[in-house]
Structure 1
Amino acid sequence: MSAARSKPRHRRRRTALLIGVPAALAAAATLAYGTVFGVFGDDAQPTAQAAAAPSWATDTADGFASVNSRGQNGTYGGRDGKTVTVKTLADLEKYATATEPYVIVVAGTINMAPVGKEIKVASDKTIVGSGTAGQIAGGGFFLGNGVHNVIIRNLTIRDSYQGVWNDKEHDFDAIQMDGAHHIWIDHNDLRHMADGLIDVRKNSTNITVSWNKLSDNNKAFGIGWTENVVTDITIHHNWIRETEQRNPSTDNAAHAHLYNNFLEDTAGTAISSSYGNYARGKTSMVLENSYFQGFKNPVIRDTTATLVQRGNVFSGTSGRNESGGGSGFDPKGYYGYSLDPAADVPALLKSGAGPRTSIGTTTRAAAATTLTVAKDGSGQYSTVQAAVNAVPANNPSRVVIAVKPGTYRETVKVPSNKPHLTIQGTGGSRKDTVIVYNNAAGTPKPDGSGTYGTSGSATVAVEADDFQARNLTITNDFDERANQGLSGHQAVALRTAADKVFLDSIIVNGDQDTLLLDTAAKDRLGRVYLTNSYVTGNVDFVFGRATAVIDRSILTLKKRWDGTSAGYITAPSTPADRKGFLINRSTVNGDVSAASFFLGRNWHAGGDASLRPQTTVRNSTLSAAIKPTPWSDMGGFSWKSDRFAEYRNTGPGAGPASTNRPQLTDAQAAQQEVADWLGDWTPTAS
C-alpha cells in the first residue's frame, strides 16, 4: 500500500480507531519506545527504539494527483527541499513564494493581514500544519497558472467571513487554484470564509482533495469556470457539513471521481443545503459509496453531463437525486483505490477527517519504559501494585507494566498523578494473567474505619488519565452465597475514574456492579473505550457516569448466587450534557433464562433529578435472555424521561420499535457513532 496510486486505505489506518485489530498486532504496529534509564535506573527494560523519520515527510498524493502528466511525475510537494518551521506571516510568505522546494511546517496561528490575503504559493511546496497547531486565520492560499506539485495539508484555514452570507464582494477563499496542476489538499479543516472554501478553476487539473472537513460556509467547493473540459479531480473521504451550495459544484470536468464523502445537513440549524454533488456542463462524474444525511437535492446533473452512481447511502434526503447521461469512465483505468462501505463513512470521517496530531510533527515519540512483574520473582516486582508505586509522580511519558502469567491476588490502584500507564499481560491468552480480589461494598476495612463501599471494593481502580490495559483478566470473586449476612453485595472488579481509558482484549469478571465506569468528578469528562473484550455479571454490571464505548465485545449474563435468572446490564448515571454508554457491534449472551434480563435502568445517583442517564445499544446481537421491554425504571425515575434506545440489533432478543422499545432513526443513529462518543480522542495501543 505504499505506492502513490493506492494510498487511501493506508492513510485511513493511520488516523482511524484501531478497531477489531488483535491486541498483539495493534501493539506491534504502534509501540515506539526508547530508553529512559535515568527515570527508573539501570534495571528498567526498554523496548525497541522509535522510528527515525516521520512518515508524513515523504507521503505522496493518491487519486488524479498521483497520475503522471504535464511533465509531472505525481505529487510529492517540497520533499526534495529543506524543512522549515514558520510562526509568522512574513516567514510563511517568504518560503511559500520561493522558487526552490520547501517543506513548510506551520507551528502556530498565523493571522493574515490584510484580512482576505491569499499567499501566492509557488511550485514544489508542502505546507503542513504541525499537529493541530497550524492555523491560518483571515485568509488563505492562491495557486496560479502553471503552479504545480503542491501539498496543502493538516491546516485549519478559517475566518475571513465579512458578515454577508452569500458574499459577492469579497473573493476570500481558503484555497483557490487558477490553472494549477498536481495539487493535493489533505486533512485540513476549512471553515467560515467570505467566499468559497476550495475553488478549482480555469483548467486546473490532476487535483486530489482528501480527508478534509469543510463546514460553516455558504459555498463549499467549486470546480470549473472554464469552457474547456480538461480537469481531472479526485474527491474522497471529505466531511462536508453545514454548507449551503457547491458541495461540490463540478463544471466541465473531464473526469470527476467522488467517493466515500459524507455530506451532512443537520436539521434545525441556521444553515440549510440547497444541493449536494452537482455535475454541470459536460462533466463526467463517478460517485461511489458516499453518505448523504439530510441534504436537499443530494445529487443533481445537467442534461449535458454524465453521472454514474454506485453504492451511495441517502438518509433523510429530499428532492433531486439523479444519474445518467452515459456509462462514464473507470477510475481504476487511471489509478488504484479501495472503497470503504458507505454505511461506515459517517463514523470514519468524524474520527478521521481534519488535522491530525500525527502529521507535521518532527519530534520523536516520547520514550517509554517497561517494568516487569512476576509472581515467581523473575521480574523486577512481584506484585502489580509495587510496580505502580515505582512509577514517579507526574511521569511525562508512557510506562508499560508487563505482567507475566500468574494469578495476582491483590488490589491495585493507579492514582491520578500517574498518567500514561499501561498494564499488559504477557501470556498467550488474556486468561493467563489474572488480577483478583474479593472485597464487597459491605466488607469491613481492616483498620476498623467502616466498610469499603461500592467504589472502594474495586480489585483494580484507575484514577489516572491516558490509562491502558490489555491481554489480562480482572476479577472480583466475592462469594455472595457465603456472605449472606453481609450488607452490601456490590463487588467491583474494575473502576475507572479518568479520561482516555483504553481497555483492549481484557476480561472483567464479577456478579453485581462488575465494571464501574466513572469520572474523577461530576463536572469532569471521563471517556472509556473498551474493545475486543468480555464483561460478565448480573446486576447493573456496567454502571457509572462516564462517556463509554463497549465495541466488538461480549457481555455475558450470569445467574445470581441462588441460581435465579434476573438482572440488568447497564445502569448509567449520565450528566445531562454528556453522552453515556454506547454498546456497539457487540454480543449479549449467557446461560440464563429467556426474557430475564433488562438492557438497563436509569440510575439517578443520589436522587439527582438533573441527570439524564443514557444507554444506546446498536448493531449488536442480543440473546433470548433480553426482555421484550428491555428498559426499567430505577429509584422512582421513569426511564422514558431519560435516554435509552436501540438501533438495528439482531438475534432472538431483538425486537421491533414500540413505546417500550425505542429505536433510533437513521438520522439519529448517524449522530450516535463511536466518534461522537470519543470526540477528539483516537484510542491507539501504546
Structure 2
Amino acid sequence: MSEHRSKARHRRAGKLLAAGLPLTLTTASLVVYGAAFGGAAPHQASAATTAAAPAWATATADGFASVDALGQKGTYGGRDGRTVTVRTQADLEKYATAAEPYVIVVAGTITMNPVGKEIKVASDKTIVGAGTSGHIVGGGFFLGQGVHNVIIRNLTIRDSYQGIWNDKDHDFDAVQMDGAHHVWIDHNDLRHMADGLIDVRKDSTYVTVSWNKLSDNNKTFGIGWTENVTTDLTVHHNWFRETEQRNPSTDNVAHAHLYNNFLEDAPGTDIASSYGNYSRGGTRMVLENSYFQGMKNPVIKDATATIVQRGNVFSGTSGRNESGGTAFDPKTYYAYTLDKAADVPSLLRSGAGPRPSIGTTGAAASTGAATTLTVAKDGTGQYRTVQAAVNAVPANNPARVVISIKPGTYRETVKVPSNKPHVTFQGTGGSRKDTVIVYDNAAGTRKPDGSGTYGTSGSATVAVEADDFQARNLTVSNDFDEGANQSLSGHQAVALRTAADKVFLDGVIVEGDQDTLLLDTAAKDRLGRVYVTGSYIVGNVDFVFGRATAVIDRSVITLKKRWNGTSAGYITAPSTAADRKGFLIANSAIGGDVSDRTFHLGRPWHAGGDASLDPQTTVRDTTLSAAIRTAPWTDMSGFSWKDDRFAEYRNTGPGAGSASGDRPHLTDAQAADQEIADWLAGWTPTAS
C-alpha cells in the first residue's frame, strides 16, 4: 500500500545499546521471581506442578485483546497448558507450532536460520522471554489466518536488517499477523528489522500492543492491508524511538485506540521521522495523552479517516498535526486508566521493554524456598523496625529472605551485615513513596557513646554490606538539615551505602543533599557491581560517589538546590580503580528545579589522595536539562578530570553539547565497549 514517506537513507551499523541486558521493573506490586535455568534440554512442568504458577504465566491482556468476541474469551495465551523452557530454534518451533497450549519460556539467544525465518505460531500460546535473556535474532513470528489467543511478551526481537533502508525485497518482520485475532504483544524490545517491527494485516483484530520499545527501524508498525473496516486494536504505553514511519499507520481500522505512547525523534541521529500516528481510509482513531518529542508530522489523517485527539503533548514537533471527525468511546469496550501525558517520557523510559520479573521462575529452586519477614510500624507485622527483621535473618543464609515492609515512615538506621546475603527489601505500598526509611546522621554528627563522629560512610541511613542484596518500591532518605547545623563540621549525609557485589536497586527513591548514594566495595581488591533501574536519585553535591562498578539505567537523577537556595553542584564523584569500570548512566534523565548551567556531571575523587586511581563516569543516551554546564566535568582536590575517564555519548536535551576538548564524546567504536553488559561483566540482575 502507498505510504507517506521521506527519502530513503542508509542505515547505520554497529552494536545497539545493552543488547540482552535488563531494562526495568515499574509495577512494584507484581509477584517477582528469580531465574534458575539449567541444562540444555527444554524443561517441562506438568499442569499439576503449575497450580501456583507465577503471575506472568497466567497474565491476561487488556484493551481490545481482552474483549470477548469471535468465540474467544479474552487473550490468555497458553496458561492452560504446560510450561516449557527453550534455548534452540528447533525447540521453539516445536512448541510454538504445536496444536496444544503451551507457555514457552525463551531462555537465551536464538539466532534464526535462515535469516528472516518467521516461526508460524499456532493458537493458545504464550511465548515469553526469561527475564531479559530471551532474544530472537534475525527473524520473528508469523500468526496466520484464524490463529488466536497468542501472547508474545518480554522478548528482544532484533537484527534481521539486510543493509537497505527501505527494504522491499526482505519481508522480515518481528511479528506479523495475517487474519489472526486476540493477540497481545507486551513488554518487548523490537528493533533493527528488515521490514516491519509489527504488521497487523488482513483483518487481524482484537489486538493489544503495550509497553514495548520499538526503535531503530523504518516501517515500524503497520495495520491494515485490506479494504474491510474490521480491525479493533489498542496501542498503549509504547516507546517509539528513532523510527521513520508507520508509528503506527492504521489503514481501515474500525476502532484504533492509542494512548500514553511516547514518540521520540532524537536530533543528530541517522534516522529522522517522516510521520507519527497516521489514520487512513475508513479508520476511526482515538488518540489520548501521548507525548510527541521532535517528530515531523506527528499526527496525520486522510480525508476519509477520523482522529479525535485529547490531552496530547507536542514538544519540538513540526509539520502536520491533524484531527477531525467523530470516533468512538473506548470505555464502551473496556476499562482503562490514563497516565498524565507529561509523565509519559519518564514512565516509558523506565518501564517499556523486557522486565527481569517476567518469565523467570524458581527463585529458590537450588537454594530452598524463600522466606518472608514482615515489618509494620503498627505492630501488624512480625517486626516493628526494619533492623529487627534484618537481625532475624540467619547468618550465612543460603536462600532469599524477603523483608516485606508495610507503608509507613521508619526513622531508623539499618545495616545489612556481610554475613547476611540474599536479602530483599520490598515496600508493599502502592507507591515507592509510601514506605520510607529515613534518618539524619551526617559525617560530623557525634556518636551517642562519645566515641567520635560518624564520618561520611558511617552516616548512612541504610548500609548494605551483604552480596546479592535487592531493594524495590521504597524510599531511602537522609534528611540532615544543613541550614540548621552550619556550625557542624562535616555535612556529608549518606542515604544509602552499598559495599557489596550484585546489588540490585529497582524502583526506589534515594534522596539527600551532599553524598546521597555511596556506591562502594567491601575492599579495594573486591568487585562491587550495582545495577539501579527505574529509580530516582536526588541530591546536590557528589551525590553519586564511590569506587563501585555501577549502572544507573532508565532512571531520573534530580538536581536539588543547596540549603541556602543556591544552585551549584556535582552529580558523580567516582573513585574507580585503574583496572575497573566506574559509573555508567544510561537511558536516563537528568534535571531539576535549579538554575541553568550550574551542575557538573562529575569530578574525579582520588580518595585519600591516591594517584593510582582512574575515576570513570560515562553518561550516554540520556536527556540532560539546561542545568548541566557546557563544560560538564571539573577537577577535584588537585586532580585533573582530563587525566581520568569522563565521557558522553549520544545525549540529548538542552544540556547536551557537541564534542570538544572540554566535552569528550565516545566514538561509536568506543561506545560499543561501554555498554551495560560491559559494566555488569556476566551478571544479569534478576528480581527475586
TM-score normalised by the chain length of structure 1: 0.66
Report the counterpart of residue 330 of structure 1 in structure 2: 329
Within 5 Å, give how 1:201-350 maps onto structure 2: 201-324=201-324, 326-350=325-349
| Equivalence map 1:267-666=2 (5 Å) | 267-324=267-324, 326-363=325-362, 367-368=370-371, 370=373, 392=395, 397-398=400-401, 400=403, 414-415=417-418, 418=421, 420=423, 422=425, 440=444, 454-455=456-457, 461-464=463-466, 466=469, 468=471, 489=490, 492=493, 494=495, 496-497=497-498, 499-501=503-505, 515=516, 517-520=518-521, 540=541, 542=543, 544=545, 570-574=569-573, 578-579=584-585, 604-606=604-606, 665=654
Letter in 1 for 2:74: G
Q: Which amino acid aligns with 2:355?
A: R
- Aligned counterpart for 2:26 among listed residues 17, 24, 28: 17
Distance 1:200 1:173 in 2: 11
Q: Describe the SS at the equivalent of 2:197.
A: strand
C-alpha separation in 2, matches of 1:260 and 1:328: 18
TM-aligned CA distance change 1:500 to 1:574, over 3 Å: farther
- When the two chains are superposed, the root-mean-square deviation of aligned CA atoms in Å is 5.8
Shift of 1:442: 11
State the 1:180 CA deviation: 1.5
Deviation at 1:397, TM superposition (A): 2.3
**In 2 relative to 1, CA 282–667 (structure 1 residues): closer, same or farther, beyond 3 Å?**
farther
Output the CA distance in 2 between the equivalents of 1:432 and 1:77: 38
Q: Deviations 1:361-388 (Å, cap 9, x if unpaired)?
A: 33257613649999xxxx9999969966
Instruction: Describe the superposition over 1:549-608 as per-residue Cα deviations: whole angstroms up to 9, x where unpaired.
Output: 9989998976xxxxxx6988854344697449988789x9xxxxxx9xx98997553499
2: CA distance, partners of 1:383 / 1:235: 41
| Native 8 Å contact 2:476 2:496 kept in 1 | no
Name the structure 2 match of 1:194: 194
- 1:243: Cα distance to partner? 1.5
1:342 partner letter: A
What TM-score comes out, normalization by structure 2 length?
0.66
Counterpart Cα distance in 2 of 1:570 and 1:127: 47
> Which whole-Å CA distance do the structure 2 matches of 1:272 and 1:240 have between them?
12
Residues 385 and 412 in structure 1, CA contact (< 8 A), matched pair in contact too:
no
Aligned residues: 573
Q: Distance in 2 between matches of 1:319 and 1:382?
A: 57
Distance change (3 Å), C-alpha of 1:359 and 1:386 = closer
**After superposition, where does 1:130-141 map in structure 2 within 5 Å?**
130-141=130-141
Gap change, CA 1:417 and 1:144, over 3 Å in 2: same
Aligned residue for 2:69, secondary structure, equals coil
Offset at residue 332 of structure 1 (A): 1.9
Q: Which residue of 1 aligns with 2:37?
A: none
Separation (CA, whole Å) in 1 of partners of 2:208 and 2:555: 36
CA-CA distance at 1:220 after TM superposition:
0.5
Worse-matched range after superposition: 610-619 or 256-265: 610-619
- Aligned residues of 1:441 and 1:455 also touching (Cα < 8 A): no
TM-aligned CA distance change 1:330 to 1:542, over 3 Å:
same
User: What SS does the corresponding residue of 2:250 show, helix, strand or coil?
Assistant: strand
Letter paired with 2:182: H
Identity across the alignment (%):
55
Match of 1:45 in 2: none
**Counterpart-to-counterpart distance in 1, 2:62 and 2:91:** 29
The separation in 2 between residues aligned to 1:189 and 1:635, in whole angstroms, is 43
User: CA, structure 1 residues 638+293, in 2 after alignment: closer, same or farther (shift >3 Å)?
Assistant: farther
Contact 2:373 2:389 in 1 (8 A): no
The aligned residue for residue 672 of structure 2 is none
CA distances 1:23-81 after superposition (whole Å, capped 9, x unpaired): xxx7xx578899xxxxxxxxxxxxxxx99331222222222222232222222222233
Q: Distance in 2 between matches of 1:175 and 1:430?
A: 39
Q: For residues 84 and 293 of structure 1, do their structure 2 counterparts lie closer, same or farther at Cα, with a shift above 3 Å needed?
A: same
The residue matched to 1:196 in structure 2 has which SS? coil
Q: CA deviation at 1:278?
A: 1.1
User: Given that residues 213 and 240 in structure 1 are in contact (C-alpha distance below 8 angstroms), is that contact kept between their aligned partners in structure 2?
Assistant: yes
**Secondary structure, counterpart of 1:95 in structure 2:** helix
Structure 2 distance, partners of 1:245, 1:503, is 33
Distance between the aligned counterparts of 2:253 and 2:427, measured in 1? 53
Q: CA deviation at 1:415?
A: 4.3
Gap runs ≥5 in structure 2: 1-22, 35-49, 575-581, 628-632, 647-651, 658-674
Aligned residues of 1:584 and 1:618 also touching (Cα < 8 A): yes
2:33 and 2:360 in contact (8 A); partners too: no
Change (3 A) 1:73 1:519: same
Distance 1:278 1:85 in 2: 39
Aligned-partner Cα distance in 1 for 2:410–2:211: 45
Q: Which residue of 1 aligns with 2:76?
A: 76
CA contact (8 A) 2:443 2:490 kept: no
2-structure distance, mates of 1:612, 1:264? 26
Residue 413 and residue 152 in structure 1: after superposition, are their counterparts in 2 closer, same or farther (change >3 A)? closer
Is the contact made by 1:373 and 1:387 (CA closer than 8 Å) also made in structure 2? no
Return the letter of the residue paired with 2:330.
P
Q: Which amino acid aligns with 1:187?
A: H
Summarize the Cα distance change of 1:59–1:390 in structure 2 as closer, same or farther, 3 Å threshold.
closer
Q: Check 1:182–1:331 CA distance in 2 against 1; reply closer, same or farther (3 A cut).
A: same
Question: d(CA) in 2 for partners of 1:76 and 1:503?
Answer: 27
Question: Aligned partners of 2:220, 2:98: CA distance in 1, in Å?
Answer: 29
* CA distance 1:585–1:619, change in 2 (3 Å): farther
Q: Which has the larger radius of gyration?
A: 1
User: Contact 1:212 / 1:354 at 8 angstroms: preserved in 2?
Assistant: yes
* 3-state SS of paired residue (2:219): strand
Residue number in structure 2 paired with 1:673: none
Name the amino acid aligned to 2:294: G
- What 5-or-longer segments of structure 1 have no aligned partner? 1-13, 19-25, 35-49, 559-564, 589-594, 621-630, 644-662, 669-675
Residue 17 of structure 1: SS of its match in structure 2?
coil
1:262/1:417 CA distance change after superposition, 3 Å: same
- In the alignment, residue 355 of structure 1 is paired with which amino acid? P
CA shift at 1:275, angstroms? 1.2
Which secondary structure state, in structure 2, belongs to the residue aligned with residue 605 of structure 1?
Answer: coil
**Counterpart residue identity of residue 423, structure 2:** H
